[in-house]
Amino acid sequence: MYLDNSSTTRVCETAAAKVMELMTENYGNPSSLHALGFRAEQALTQARRSVAAALGAKEEEVFFTSGGTESNNLAIFGAAYARKRMGMHIVTTQIEHPSVANAVRQLEKEGWEVTWLQPDREGHIAPEAVLEAVRPDTTLVSMMAVNNEVGTILPIEAAARAIALKKAPALLHVDAVQAFGKLDTKPERKKIDLMSISAHKIHGPKGVGALYVRKGIRIQPHSFGGGQERGIRPGTEALPAIGGFGAAVEALPVVGESLKHAQELAAACREKLRALPGVALNSPEDALPYIVNFSAGAVRAETMLHFLAARGVYVSSGSACSKGKQSPVLEAMQLPKERIQSALRVSFSRFNTLEDVDALIEGVREGMASLAVKK
């Protein structure tokens, strides 16, 4: 029972077939001038068109990268360096993914001033705090759409309003890796300038993502080469992965339908977890239903994780990028140490069922009964 979809997802059949096709049949370099190169270029264009359509964006606003981490780094450093003369103040939150948090910390070392917004005990960022934080010299606001550990939905619209009200020269960057394909992620509607997405969170292949850059926005590239991706991210395109990304996007169900399925799974999961003595829910009621974070009493997360895995139930103890370290997100939420140490994250996809939830609950019940005394 795979319940770790916020870490990665299984590749859907259509995406896997497209990857194979572009590795064994249509394997030309998109920059080559012969027929195979032309066919490869057509495949690249189709993938870009599919991703752009899902974002409600123009094709020329979509730049392919190696994944969410590169997209986040490209957006943050690219925006900061391009707007340095306008100001050196950045607003972000204490619950960002490491690819955002560590990039911003590096800029902090280089002289940028950073305002780190603190969440409440449910992981929410107050819209008023965003408004207060943005200043006339703010040149970048970077905020995730959905927190990857507890599922809170962050106030992106409030960030856009704050930038407009303060007349700041800031670009608004949104890490939408956990939101893409699950919520409305149309950047133009929400006045988003830069948006990061990733293929392997939506049943596409690993190693590919995209950065949306609103038309007219200039960011500074951090690598140089032959001019692919219009110079923003040069290098021969990873066409099999990109084609698989496009195919996975095309296979996405209607957002409302998949969201309803996730709500049913999350509601059942929450209800059954609450019935287990000693379990505490860390995800708030209004979290994105694809993610349910909870603490399993006195059993340490790693111990319970391995107990469940031995029974064929796969969950995580937080962000996959944290490699088992204590969650900075739950720390920022100021949860008790014992609760942080026993926290597990369940994350659903459209392929999960209520039977998967039942297997999880039974595994947690058994684990709490047999492991609690061993601590």
Alpha helices in the chain (DSSP H): 13-24, 35-55, 68-82, 98-109, 127-133, 156-165, 239-250, 255-274, 301-309, 328-332, 337-341, 354-371
Is there a catalytic annotation at residue 12? no
Strand partners, 291: 347
- Of 248, 254, 252, 253, whose CA–CA distance to 17 is shortest? 248
Beta strands 343-347; 291-296: pairing state: antiparallel
Could you tell me the strand order of the sheet in which 194-198 lies? 62-65, 209-213, 194-198, 171-175, 138-142, 89-93, 113-117
Annotated catalytic residue within 126, 281, 321, 372:
321
> What is the Cα–Cα distance from 240 to 208, expressed in whole angstroms?
10
CA distance 125 to 119: 5
CA distance 156 to 175: 10
Residues whose CB falls within 8 Å of the CB of residue 369, separated by 6 or more in sequence, listed in order: none
CB atoms within 10 A of CB 129: 19
Active site residues: 321
